[in-house]
Amino acid sequence: MKIVFLTTEDYSFLSHRLTLARAAKEAGAEVVIMTRSGRYRTHLEKEGFRIVPWQISRPSLNPLRELYSFFQVLRAYRRERPDLIHHVALKPIVYGCIAAWLCGRIPNVNTITGLGPVFTNSSAQMHLLRNALLSVFRWIFRPTNCRVILQNDDDRTLFARLKVSVEERTIVLPGFGVDTEHFRPIPEPAGTPVVMLPARMLKEKGVCEFVSAARHLKDWGVSARMVLVGAPDPRNLGCIAESQLREWEKTGVVEWWGHRHDMPFVLCQSNVVCLPSYREGLPKVLLEAAACGRAIVTTSAPGCADAVRHGENGLLVPIKDARALADAICTLLQNNDLRTKMGAAGRLRALREFSDERVARQTLEIYQRLMKGKWTFNVDLLQQV
């Protein structure tokens, strides 16, 4: 059994899909990862996975460049002859599904990690791109050996309403899960409370609203360190420039800690975790924050509202509403018992609903059903992953 994963970034695969790939390998599959090869290639190869380099640019709309990226996928599929392919994110799904169909209709699973700026941006260009993408989806998801994995019920309802995919071949899974052993709760730090937004520095993540909320809190005399954790993503259309982040930091209204590799430690330096995103699949950082026992403030946007139940493990606020965001943060900062209660509830949800082992098991079961008996595995093996 050979499985090919097609995804744009090696670092994203390492942080989000490693448990799944390990589970597939432990279940007896040969795992091949086709991705943009970077600094994490060696790490993935040490895990026993073979890497096929892919020259792909996520934000590119250049037709010649995109055609070249597609033909790389087509050549790789013809050479590898996989039994099953798992495409992750929009471009890999579009190029991969077409290539899979041209190579003899190879069974494929397609994880849409979030609909992103194509669906949240209201510009004329994005409107045209969105309509084109929906038309392509309706075509590429038609084969009976194709499965679509979404990360929240809102996206599934949207796809059903727009007739993008067949309902019985569309599955909702809670992202790729969280390692609840790696992300563990420790008591909140002493001193001035820290409110943390951990994400790529993108407009769609609500970074500007977070900075505005920080200004509100400062004007109200609320004592808090408002911290941004994450790097700009120049390949994303919504990227916030480093110069802007530096300028905000100079004003003293926020701190910018940049990209961090030690996220279990970093999240535990916070008192409240905040993600005022416009739309998500299921934000992994909120699952990590919940596993660390932190109360959360996020928006009522699709995906975010799946990670947080209002009043249980956090508070939900309207999208793009900096004043409501500041109010919710202030509520949690002023109530230590409420934060502790919500943090404990979040940890329990992470264990029961969002563990990466549970999600890996569910995904392998999708593979097994799709292969119709051509590949079976022992579920008990996954408990050792």
328-335 own/partner pairs: CB under 8 Å, 24+ apart: 328/297, 329/195, 329/213, 329/217, 329/224, 329/272, 329/274, 329/297, 330/217, 330/220, 330/222, 332/271, 332/272, 332/295, 332/297, 333/193, 333/195, 333/222, 333/224, 333/271, 333/272
225-258 burial by CB neighbour count: b if 16+ within 10 A, else e? Answer: bbbbbbebbeebbbbbeeebbeebeeeebbebee
Q: Are 291 and 350 in contact (CB under 8 A)?
A: yes
Q: Are 279 and 300 in contact (CB under 8 A)?
A: no
pLDDT at 25 over 50: yes
- Domain edges within the chain: 2-177+355-384, 194-353
pLDDT digit string, tens, across residues 344-359:
999 999 999 999 999 9
Are 2-177+355-384 and 194-353 the same fold in CATH? yes
Quick one: pLDDT at residue 116? 67
CATH of 194-353, one of 3.40.50.2000, 3.40.50.720, 1.10.10.10, 1.10.150.20: 3.40.50.2000
The architecture (CATH level 2) of 2-177+355-384 comes to: 3-Layer(aba) Sandwich (3.40)
How high is the mean pLDDT of the chain? 92
| pLDDT tens by residue, 139-156 | 999 999 999 999 988 889
pLDDT digits (tens, 9 = 90+) for 55-107: 988 767 788 999 999 999 999 999 999 999 999 988 999 999 999 999 999 99
Is the pLDDT at 24 greater than 80? The verdict is: yes
Mean pLDDT of 308-337: 97
Question: What is the percent of the chain where pLDDT is above 90?
Answer: 76
pLDDT tens string 175-185: 889 999 999 99
pTM of the complete model: 0.86
Task: Tell the residue number behind the tokens 């230590």, with chain if given.
Answer: 336
Q: What is the pLDDT of residue 385?
A: 47
Query: In the beta sheet, which residues pair with residue 52?
Result: 34
pLDDT digits (tens, 9 = 90+) for 119-133: 766 777 778 888 888
